Amino acid sequence: MESHRGTKTAITFHSMGDTDSVSSAIAISENYYGEIVCPDRITGNSERILKNLGYINRMSRTTIESGTELIILVDVNNFEGCGNLHQPLEDFGGEILIIDHHAVSEMKKENITAFDDETYTSTASIITELLNAAGKNPTKEQQKLLLMGIISDSAEFRNSDSRTFSQIGKLLANLGSNYPAILEEMTFRSSPSERERAIDDITRAKKEVVGDLLVLVGESRTRANTAADMAIRIGADVAIFCYEGREEISFSTRLQPQLDTKLGIHLGMIMKSMAPLIDGSGGGHPCAAGAYGKNYKHKELFIELFVNKIRESVKVREGEASK
């Protein structure tokens, strides 16, 4: 990337940017170059972390400026997952660099150079290694942000390998901190009443067994993502919860780690494709994604179509296993 110094550069990530994606974008921008462009929203947890570390102002730009010569995509390797930037990326004639840890990109455009390596468990892990190899000296705040990005994408270490633990250990040592302290700092703990309501939401949720998967479908009275996360932690394989706010309806979906690969499911892509139903937008990661919009009328249809997509994926997997 040093060879592009002086080039007008934009750095962006997937819709509903999480801690891994925003930490990677900030680390590149701060240690190399480039203006960060936020495709739509970032998650509530990543927003809270950025505020605490003094980086939330880096998320204010939402359009790619004219004259941009290079775009760096982090934590995503397709344009469809980039929310409001989908079409601008399709139309962009300059150079595009992808840095990602998901399945290898199938885009075959001449202006795209892709580094997408599934052996890494997070994009923040790739960026951490890149900075070390380049002899960069990220600040304590940047190191903490990258550490949180690595931890957040580890799925409570179920996706981790020796490199993950090695990087976490080195970053903790550099910061003079420990894992419980970092975890407490990066984890949002809702009030007892909110947690009580989330438990009630899960209790009232519809439970359905699809193949060998337990699917939970419910409505949330507080945060849909809180109920969806909790559902996965207590044993659900798939969860979708919706929340009807005053101005919009939102859906949060979750999948047990590694089921995305086994089932051929990408929740971010599903939410992206279904978001027009609610006159909104959506996206996210293979195992965690959401959608939000203004159309409340299609709530039941949205949920029905989502569950049907899960059923179809299970049927395909069962059919392949029987061959």
**Domains of the chain: which residue ranges?**
2-186, 192-322
81 near 272, Cβ under 8 Å? Answer: yes
Query: Angle 179-186/162-175 helices, nearest 10 degrees?
Result: 90
Predicted confidence at residue 193, as pLDDT, reads: 86
For domain 192-322, which architecture applies? Roll (3.10)
Distance CA(152)–CA(44), nearest Å, equals 13
Predicted confidence at residue 1, as pLDDT, reads: 66
Q: Give the side-chain half-sphere CA count within 13 A for 292.
A: 18
Superfamily of domain 2-186 in CATH is inorganic pyrophosphatase (n-terminal core) (3.90.1640.10)
What separation in angstroms does the CA of 280 have from each of 120, 255, 304? Answer: 32, 22, 18
Q: What is the phi-psi region of residue 198: left when phi exceeds 0, alpha when psi lies from -120 to 50, beta otherwise?
A: alpha
DSSP state for residue 287 in the 8-state scheme: S
Distance CA(177)–CA(151), nearest Å, equals 14
Q: What pTM was computed for the model? A: 0.80
Q: Name the H helices within the chain.
A: 19-31, 44-53, 86-91, 123-133, 140-152, 162-175, 179-186, 192-204, 224-233, 259-263, 267-274, 299-322
Predicted confidence at residue 249, as pLDDT, reads: 95
From first to last of its 323 residues, the chain has per-residue pLDDT tens of 666 677 899 999 998 899 999 999 999 999 999 999 999 989 888 999 999 999 999 999 999 999 999 999 999 988 888 888 999 999 999 999 999 987 666 677 788 999 988 889 899 999 999 999 999 999 999 999 999 999 998 877 877 899 999 999 999 999 999 999 999 999 877 788 888 888 999 999 999 999 999 999 999 987 888 899 899 999 999 999 999 998 899 999 999 988 988 899 989 889 989 999 999 888 777 888 889 999 999 999 999 999 999 999 999 888 877 76
Exposed, middle or buried by CB within 10 Å (0-12, 13-18, 19+), for 222? middle
